[in-house]
Structure 1
Amino acid sequence: MRIRCFLIYFLLIISCATRHGMMGKVLRFIERTQLPVYLTPMAKGDIDERHPQFHGIFAGNCSTESVQKEVYNADLILSIGSMNSDFNTGGFTYRLSQKKAIEFHTYHTKIFYAVYDKVDMRELLPDLTEHWPTNIIRQYNGTQNNIEPVILDAKHQTEIVHEYLWHKLPDFIPEDSIVVAETGTSEFGIFNMRAPKGVTFLTQILWGSIGYSVGAALVGKDDNRRVFVLVGDGSFQLVCQEISSMLRFKTNIVIILLNNDGYTIEKFIHEPDRAYNNIQMWRYHNSFEYFGDGLKQNRDQAITGFAGQVKTQEEFEKAMTQVLNETEKIHFIEVVMPAMDAPKSLVLTIEGTREYKKREQEEHE
C-alpha cells in the first residue's frame, strides 16, 4: 500500500500534551515519517503552519477544495486522537473510509474495522516512530498551506466582511500570541485563517459554549503573551463585566468585537426571523469608559489605547496598526459587519449538520 497522506485530528493529544507529553512524541513521528500533515479545527495552532509538512485544515466540507481532494484521495490515513464532534467535522461531513483509516487513541487503537483495547498511543506512537520502515520514507515536497486566495467583488471592497477579515487579521497578530475565539462566527472564521508562528488558539469547538472568551482572555496575563479576543456582540453581552478585570489587572489585551447585530450563528441555525436572536444594541466601544477608565482608583489600572468603532477596511487596518505599535495598552475595536454575513465554514457546517440530522431521522422512521 502506497502511503500518500497523513491526517492528524489531535483533540486527545491536546489534553495529553500536558498530562502525557504527547506533543513532542507526535512531532518526532511527523518528522520521522515525512508525511504531509493536516489538522482539524480543534488542533489549530498545535503545529506551526509554516512547518514544511503542514498542508491545511481538514473539516469535511468546510475544508478548502484542494485539502478535501488530497485527503479523500489518500491511500492510508493515520488519525491521531480523533474527536468526531459536529463542529470539528464540518457538521458531520467527513467521508473518510474505514477501509484506509488507522486511529490512534489514548486507550485503544482502531485499525480499519478492528478495535484493539489498551493499545495506547502514548506507548504505540514512539514504537512506531522508531520502527517506521525506511523504504517508505519520502521527503515531502508538496505545496504548503492550502488557503484559497481572497478576491472581493466591488460591493465588498470597502466594508468589513468575513472573507476580508480572516484573510487580513493574521497580518496584525504577532508570533507567540494567544487568540481566544468565541463560539460562533469567530471560531469558524479561524478555521482556514493563516496562523502566525507560535500562536495558541483557544476555542469551544467541542461544547459550543458561548460567553467564555472574554473571561478566558485573562489566561495570558502571567505568560507575558499578547492576547487577542475575537467575540461576537451577543456573546459579549453575557460577560462584559470582565472588562473591569482587564482594566484592574493592567492587561494589554486586544478585544475585537464583531458587531453584526445579534446571534448570527443562531440565525443560520433557526432562520433569521426569530425575535430572540435579535439583541439590544450597545455602544460596545465605550466599554472602557463605563467600567472605570480614568476614574480615581485605589490601585493602578491598565492604560487604554484605541477604543472605537470601525466600519471600513481602511479604518480597521489603521486601528490594528495602532494596536501593534502600542503593545503596553489595552484596546477595544468594535468591528461593524453586515448582518447575516458569515464565514463560509460556518454556513457549510450548518448545512452539513442539517443533512446529518435529516438522514438520522429518515433511518429511524
Structure 2
Amino acid sequence: MASDIRMQSLAKPVTVAEYLFTRLHQIGIRSVHGLPGDFNLVALDYVPKCGLNWVGSVNELNAAYAADGYARAKGISAIVTTFGVGELSALNGIAGAYSEHVPVVHIVGCPSTISQRNGMLLHHTLGNGDFNVFANMSAQISCEVAKLMKPAEIADQIDHTLRECWVQSRPVYLWLPTDMVEKKVEGQRLDTPIDLSEPKNDPEREDYVVDVVLKYLHAAKNPVVLVDACAVRHRCLVEVRDLIKKTGLPVFVTPMGKGGVNETTSTYGGVYAGSGSSPAVKARVEGADLILSIGSLKSDFNTAGFSYRLSQLNTIDFHHDHCVVRYSEYPGVAMKGVLRKVIERVDLSKLSLGKPMNGVVNEVTKNRDDSSTITQAWFWPRIGEYLKQGDLVVTETGTSNFGIWETKFPPEVTGITQVFWGSIGWSVGAAQGAALGARDMCKDCRTILFVGDGSFQLTAQEVSTILRHGLRMTIFLIYNEGYTIERHIHGMDAEYNDIKKWNYADFPTVCGATEKESKSFIVKTKDELEKLLKDKSFNEAKGLQFVELWMPKEDAPRALKITAEISAKNNARTD
C-alpha cells in the first residue's frame, strides 16, 4: 500500500533504469559498453529505449578499456557489467581510468535487496553472505560509490554521482539491484539537466594567485609552457590554446600531454620528458627561468624515470584543484579560472619570449639509412607525414608510446595513450572505444592504432567488436617478436619475453571479416611501407585495415632505451 501511495505522488513516474540511461544520454553518452549477465539483463532492455547504442564487447576487461577510450574521445563513457565475475574482470580497466583521470560510469547489476538482506548463497558470490565485498574493492578506484537501494533516494544518487564523475574526471560506481531496476522515481527531474559546471574559485583568492603568476611571468626572460595530461583530462585545452595564441610563449608537451596543442605552429617545441627528450628540447625547457606547468602528472614513464631537471623555484604548477607558485601552494584554486584571468590580464609589453622557436619537423630523411629494414628511428617521423588533420591516434604501452614522441602531429589530431597505468593490451579496446566515440560525434575521421605483437595477443578479440560495429580503423601491428619494452628493461634474450608468432594478417578473417569489411597487409621493407602509405585507397578506406609491420626484435625508439635503462636502475636500487 505504501508504494502505491508513493507512486501516486510522483508527477511523472519512470523506472530507475529509464531514469539512469536517460541521464547518461543527457550528459553526452551515446554508446554503452559492457557484457550481459543475469543480474543486469532487465536493465539492458532499457538501453535502446533511451536512445543509446549497446556495444557489447567480448569480455569485460576489453569493455573497460573501450569505455576508457570512448571517454577520452568523447568526454565521458559508461560500462555495464554483472555482479562479481563481470565487475572484477573490468577492474583493471577501471583502475587505469582512475589512475589517468578518465570519467567512466561503471554500472553493476547486482542481486536483489531481498537476496542481500537474507545473505542467500547465490552464484557469483564468495559464499560468505557478504554482498559488499566487490563494491568495497571498487571504492578504492572510484571517486563516488552509490548503492541504489532506496527508491526515494535513487534519483538524487544518480544525479550526484554522474556530476562527480564529470567534475572530478574519474570513474564512479553505481550498484543496481535487480529489484530496483523497475521501481519508479520522479521522471519530471529529467526536464532539468544535471549541472555539470565546475566549482568556481573564490574570486579574491583567484585574483591573488593571478597577480602572483603575472608578477613572475612579466619578470621572466625565458619562460616556457609545459602541457601535461591533466590539462587534457580536465578540459583545460581551450585555455592553453588561448594562452599560447595571445602570448606566443614557447610550448612543449609531456608524453601524456601529446596532442594537447597544435604541433604545426612555430611556437611548438616538441616532447619534454627529462633525459628522454631530444637535446634541443631538454636544453630549452631546463634552461627556462620560468615554467608554466599545466596539468602535470609526473609519473616515471612520463618523465623518463623521474629525470626532470626543473627547479621548483622556476616553476608554476596549474592543477585542476589547486595551484603551486614556486613553493607556495594555493588549495582550492583551480587552473581554469586562473589561466583565463592570466590570459585576460597579461601585459604583452612586459613579456619576454627568449630565443625565437623554429617549430618542429618530421625528421624522415635524417633517420633513413640505406637498408630496407623498417627501423623505429625512421618509422615514427615517417608516420608524421602519413597522418592527417583530425585523426585519432592510439598508441600502446611499449615501443609505440615512446616512438610517437618523434612524430609531429598535423592540426586537430587527438593523441590517446596510457603512459601512467601502462596496462599492455589496453590500446586495442581503447581504439574501439575511441573510434566509436568519434562516430557518435558524427566525425568521419580515421582512428589509427599502433600496437606491438605482444600487447595485441592479450586483447586481440576486440577486433571482433570493431568489425561488428563497422568502425573506421587502421591497425599497425608492430611484429618484433615479443615484449620489447621488457627486453630493454631486463632479459633481452630471456624466454619469458618471447611469444608465439601468429598469422596476424589473417586475424580479421578469423573474426569473420569479409573482403569488403577488412583488408590486410604484410609489410617488411621501407619501400613496401612507402608504397602503402602513399596509396589513395589505403588512406581513404572506411572499414578495418590491418597492417602487419615487421621490425627488428632488438630495435626500440631512443626514448624507450633511455627510460628502460633508468627503470632498470630504479628497480635494482636497494636503499
Give 1:297's aligned residue.
none
Alignment partner of 1:4 is 2:222: yes
Give 2:319's aligned residue.
105
Amino acid at match of 2:222: R
Alignment partner of 1:262 is 2:482: yes
Give 1:240's aligned residue.
460
Alignment partner of 1:273 is 2:493: yes
TM-score, normalised to structure 2, is: 0.58
Does 140-149 or 341-350 show the bigger shift? 140-149
* Residue pairs, 1:195-206, within 5 angstroms: 195-206=409-420
State which of 526, 533, 536 in structure 2 corresponds to 1:313: 526
Alignment partner of 1:220 is 2:440: no
Give 1:170's aligned residue.
384
CA shift, 1:333, in A, is 0.7
Alignment partner of 1:144 is 2:359: yes
CA shift, 1:162, in A, is 0.3
Matches of 1:111 and 1:2 in 2, distance apart? 14
CA shift, 1:192, in A, is 2.2
Matches of 1:117 and 1:151 in 2, distance apart? 46
SS in structure 1 opposite 2:530?
helix
Give 1:298's aligned residue.
none
**Structure 2, unaligned runs of 5 or more:** 1-218
Q: Work out whether residues 64 and 148 of structure 1, in 8 Å CA contact, stay in contact via their aligned partners in 2.
A: no
Matches of 2:539 and 2:420 in 1, distance apart? 35
How much identity, in percent, do the aligned residues show? Answer: 36
Cα distance change of structure 1 residues 264 and 96 upon mapping to structure 2, 3 Å threshold? same
Matches of 2:492 and 2:423 in 1, distance apart? 21
Cα distance change of structure 1 residues 123 and 329 upon mapping to structure 2, 3 Å threshold? closer
Matches of 1:204 and 1:41 in 2, distance apart? 10
Does 83-92 or 6-15 show the bigger shift? 6-15
CA shift, 1:354, in A, is 3.5
Matches of 2:570 and 2:500 in 1, distance apart? 34
Amino acid at match of 1:110: V
Give the alignment's Cα RMSD to 1 decimal.
2.0
Q: Work out whether residues 56 and 146 of structure 1, in 8 Å CA contact, stay in contact via their aligned partners in 2.
A: no
Give 2:44's aligned residue.
none
CA shift, 1:239, in A, is 1.2
> Larger % of helix: which?
2
Alignment partner of 1:25 is 2:239: yes
Matches of 1:107 and 1:70 in 2, distance apart? 28
CA shift, 1:285, in A, is 0.6
SS in structure 2 opposite 1:342?
coil
CA shift, 1:81, in A, is 1.1
Aligned residues: 348
Give 2:152's aligned residue.
none
CA shift, 1:276, in A, is 1.6
Q: Work out whether residues 362 and 385 of structure 2, in 8 Å CA contact, stay in contact via their aligned partners in 1.
A: no
* Residue pairs, 1:183-194, within 5 angstroms: 183-194=397-408
CA shift, 1:146, in A, is 6.7
State which of 392, 395, 398 in structure 2 corresponds to 1:181: 395
Q: Work out whether residues 451 and 477 of structure 2, in 8 Å CA contact, stay in contact via their aligned partners in 1.
A: yes
Amino acid at match of 1:182: E
State which of 296, 299, 310 in structure 2 corresponds to 1:82: 296
Give 1:47's aligned residue.
261
Q: Deviations over 1:190-222 (max 9, x none)?
A: 012111221111111111111111122222231
Q: Deviations over 1:267-318 (max 9, x none)?
A: 1112213212101111101112211123xxxxxx96223x121110111122
State which of 471, 493, 509 in structure 2 corresponds to 1:289: 509
Alignment partner of 1:133 is 2:351: no
CA shift, 1:134, in A, is 3.0
Matches of 2:516 and 2:462 in 1, distance apart? 13
Give 2:185's aligned residue.
none
Does 139-148 or 93-102 show the bigger shift? 139-148
Q: Work out whether residues 373 and 524 of structure 2, in 8 Å CA contact, stay in contact via their aligned partners in 1.
A: yes
Matches of 2:316 and 2:362 in 1, distance apart? 27
Matches of 2:349 and 2:417 in 1, distance apart? 40
Higher Cα Rg: structure 1 or 2? 2
